[in-house]
């Protein structure tokens, strides 16, 4: 049976589908085509998941930013890179922003974004799903750049001693970014972030 690539029916049924597999039928076209400018809030969101790595430990940060002014709409941090992480982030964003009908949410083709749950939440709220091309991070450059900035100004610029301290610093930085960095950007002044002394 191996020679002719045959498999007994009971063996075929017993094979489990990887829950972290991308669902190809749910891959959506790239509606942005690298046009990352928008005229108002809640028109286009960009989202992704990134690693927060400290030595041999890691956590995962899921972030949604608004492409109008690049503010963080919602974020979640978890020890698990799973569907729940992304759905919790999206639901938090929807709890904060009520008028999202017609909004475009852009992401890569990660398994969370092609899941039926993600598709259902977006469709039920009138949100259009847009995805970058496979293996083309430049199609998703705003959130990629944002995550790179966060890591540069947290992990690389401070003496971190544990993953938990790193997570706390990330949360402080996001608050700083939303409340101070964006305002200073409008004034064309650059501010940098340093860890608060205890």
As beta bridge partners, residue 78 has 60
**How confident is the model at residue 181, as a pLDDT?**
82
What are 151-195's pLDDT values in tens digits?
999 988 678 899 999 999 999 999 999 998 876 665 554 444 555
* Interval 36-80: pLDDT, tens: 999 999 999 999 999 999 999 999 999 999 999 999 999 999 999
Distances (CA, A) of 43 to 19, 133, 149, 184: 31, 21, 23, 23
24 vs 63, more confident = 63
For 112-123, how does the pLDDT look when each residue is reduced to its tens digit (9 = 90+)? 999 999 999 999
pLDDT at 11: 39
pLDDT at position 158 is 77
pLDDT at 190: 44
In this structure, what CATH number is given to the domain that contains residue 81? 3.30.420.10
Would you say 23 and 131 are in contact if contact means Cβ atoms under 8 Å apart? Answer: no
> In total, how many domains does the chain have?
1
Residue 134: predicted pLDDT:
87
Is 9 inside any structural domain? no
Task: Say how far apart CA 127 and CA 141 lie, in whole Å.
Answer: 21
- Structural domain including 77 reads 18-186
Residue 142 has pLDDT above 50, yes or no: yes
Q: Is 139 among the domain residues?
A: yes
Report the pLDDT value the prediction gives residue 179, as an integer from 0 to 100.
Answer: 92
Taking CA atoms, 11 is separated from 1, 16, 47, in Å, by: 12, 10, 39
**Which of 86, 98, 126, 106 lies closest to 32 in space, CA to CA?**
106
* Residue 13, pLDDT score: 43
- Has residue 117 been placed in a domain? yes
Residue 197 falls inside a structural domain: no
Residue 169 lies in a domain: yes
pLDDT at 182: 79
Taking the C-alpha atoms of 18, 139, 86 and 110 in order, what is their torsion angle to the nearest 10 degrees? 0
Distance in angstroms between the alpha carbons of the first and the last residue of the chain: 67
């Amino acid at each position: 049976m191996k020679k002719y690539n045959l498999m007994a029916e009971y063996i075929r049924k017993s094979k489990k589908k990887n829950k972290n597999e991308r669902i190809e039928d749910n891959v959506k076209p790239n509606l942005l085509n690298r046009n990352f400018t928008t005229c108002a809030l809640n028109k286009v969101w960009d989202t992704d998941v990134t690693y927060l790595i400290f030595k041999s430990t890691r956590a995962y940060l899921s972030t949604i930013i608004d492409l109008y002014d690049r503010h963080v709409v919602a974020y979640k941090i978890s020890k698990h890179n799973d569907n729940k992480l992304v759905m919790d982030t999206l639901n938090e964003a929807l709890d904060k922003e009520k008028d999202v009908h017609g909004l475009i949410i852009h992401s890569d083709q990660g398994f969370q974004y092609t899941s039926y749950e993600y598709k259902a939440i977006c469709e039920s709220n009138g949100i259009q799903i847009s995805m970058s091309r496979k293996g083309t991070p430049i199609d998703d450059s705003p959130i990629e750049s944002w995550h790179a900035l966060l890591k540069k100004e947290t992990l690389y610029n401070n003496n971190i001693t544990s993953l938990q301290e790193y997570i706390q610093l990330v949360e402080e930085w996001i608050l700083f970014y939303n409340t101070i960095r964006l305002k200073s950007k409008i004034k064309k002044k650059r501010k940098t972030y340093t860890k608060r002394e205890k």
